[in-house]
Amino acid sequence: MSYTLSLGSAANVRTITSAWSSLTEALDSHDSVSLDLADLVDVDLSLVQLVEAARVHALHTHRTLRLTAPANATVKALLHRAGFLTEPDGECLEFWLHGECPQ
């Protein structure tokens, strides 16, 4: 069974330490973690850095990290600004957008 972790409404440089702590604890305690980003409205690049680092950590520790739903409009806009959706590979599309093509 997967553990679901919500990051709330903000994941930015001011809140990322708390998010990192919660995500690290979840990955250390559960084989599968579902990350809920649905309520995020205040985000910056630190969110993408955190999630991408957590994805690598999960892979190396034989854990599963996924999103509960495709990235919301706020996170998708951040991914566009960060260049993740300029020429995304299949793995990026599957993780962040659940296979949906970016618009």
Tens digits of per-residue pLDDT, 20-44? Answer: 999 999 999 999 999 999 999 999 9
CATH domain 3-97 topology: Transcription Regulator spoIIAA (3.30.750)
> Locate tokens 């910056």: which residue?
44
Which residues lie below 8 Å from residue 64, measured CB to CB, with a gap of 6+?
A: 2, 31, 32, 33, 58
- What is the pTM for the complete model shown? 0.91
How far is it, in rounded angstroms, from Cα 48 to Cα 42? 13
According to the model, what pLDDT value does residue 33 have? 98
**C-alpha distance from residue 63 to each of 6, 53, 60, 78, 82 (Å):** 18, 13, 8, 26, 26
3-state SS of the chain: helix, strand, coil percent to 5? 45, 15, 40
Buried b (16+ CB within 10 A) or exposed e, 10-39: bbeeebbeebbeebeebbeebeebbbebbe
Banded model confidence at residue 103, pLDDT cuts 50, 70, 90: low
| pLDDT surpasses 70 at 102 | no
